Homo-oligomer: A and B are copies of this chain.
Amino acid sequence: MPSRSPDDDPRLGDVSEGTVLRAILARTAPASHTILGPGDDAAVLAAPSGSVVATTDTLVHGPDFRLAWSSGYDLGWKSAAVNLSDIAAMGARPTGLLVALAVPRDMRLSFVEQLADGFRAACEALAPGCSVVGGDLTVSDVLTIAVTALGDLEGRRAVTRSGARPGDAVAIAGELGLAAHGLAVLFGRFRDGETPTPVDAARLAEGEASAVAAQLRPAPPIGLGPVAALAGATAMMDVSDGLALDAGRMAAASGVTIDLARSALGAEPERALAGGEDHALLATFPPDVLPPGFRIVGTVRRAGQTGVLCDGEPVDVAGWDPYRDWDAATG
């Protein structure tokens, strides 16, 4: 949709809630699973399997994003993508999103419109058939985007974290460490207030641009979640906090040890092990199965003293913990 001119871009505090909601709704489009879209007390979505898969994840300004780096479009896209990924990780297909926005009232209406455009574009690109079906708008001093994603299992059983068995292959679909590389570029070169929004691609070296894009607008392999489930994945999860930490969670839930192969982790194995926010799919498969889009990165072993090994040795890297790693004062 056309962008808003500076002369016609009021602050949210100067317009009614209804005006903001109408601006958002004009930019959403119902998709195939929507039975009743936004505008009533609640939405109604198809759940053909007789069950619904549901997850929620929040992005908060500060710990989760910086307005100096991310446009409204970027934030809408990323907020959608990280939630769609959790649906895919159960082997389900996303059917709808609900978006709860808490927005400072000095922000511009155009920002919220760009956010809506980002949500729509991410759904269309990553999860056709899924759309924003409902939401909520309130005012807060801290920009907060809480998203709930819903999905359908299409008759399959949910693929949990707890089904990995000794002898299974450990496989990945999607990037490992690329989003963390992008974050390092942003922290190293573009501190808050030093750069125009969106990030000026001309100031990025080759390789840096794709890493920054992976951080700001991740494109996790949503469609491969159902593919993995159909192929017989024994366990699956979304890698949001780094492969080492998340593989450890899968190992604990399954009562096994996961032994990763450093040679399969790309040019920067440490970043692949520690870097969060890629939203790759980590799955385990019986030894003779590997669906398209997945690559083997290790083997499931019987539970040992350590949940995660790399080439048989314990891995000592930590993932992202907002309560430990974020300080509002120092950034």
A125 CB within 8 Å of chain B = no
> Which one of B89, B99, B134, B142 contacts A41 once the chains associate, using CB atoms below 8 Å?
B89
A263 to chain B, nearest CB (A): 28
Interface CB pairs A-B, < 8 A, 11: A17-B321, A40-B161, A40-B237, A41-B55, A42-B90, A44-B153, A47-B52, A50-B50, A60-B138, A140-B142, A142-B144
Contact B141 A142 (CB under 8 A): yes
Q: Mark A78-118, 1 if CB is under 8 A from B, else 0.
A: 00000000110110100010111110010000000000000
Q: In the assembly, what is the distance between CA of A44 and CA of B229, in Å?
A: 15
- CB-CB < 8 A to A20: which residues of B? 323
Residues of B within 8 A of A153 (CB): 44
State how many copies of this chain the complex holds: 2
**In the complex, residue of chain B having the shortest beta-carbon distance to the beta carbon of A20:** B323
Interface residues of A in 40-89 (CB under 8 A from B): 40-58, 60, 62-64, 86-87, 89
A135-B56, A322-B139 known; A41+B86 contact, CB < 8 A: yes
CB neighbours (8 Å) of A140 from chain B are 60, 62-63, 142, 144
Q: What's the nearest-Cβ distance from chain B to residue A31, in Å?
A: 14
Contact A13 B323 (CB under 8 A): yes
In the complex, the chain B residue whose C-beta lies closest to that of A11 is B323
Which residues of the other chain, B, contact A210 by a CB distance below 8 angstroms?
none
Interface residues as binary, A155-185 with B (CB distance below 8 Å gives 1, 0 otherwise)? 0001011100000000000000000000000
Q: Please name the residue on chain B nearest to A236 by beta carbon.
A: B41
Given A41-B89, A142-B140, do A35 and B16 touch, yes or no (CB 8 Å)?
A: no
Contact of A148 among B12, B98, B138, B236 (CB under 8 A): B98
Name the B residues within 8 Å of A162 (CB-CB): 40
A151 contacts B by Cβ under 8 Å: yes
Residues from chain B with Cβ under 8 Å of A47 in the complex: 47, 49-52
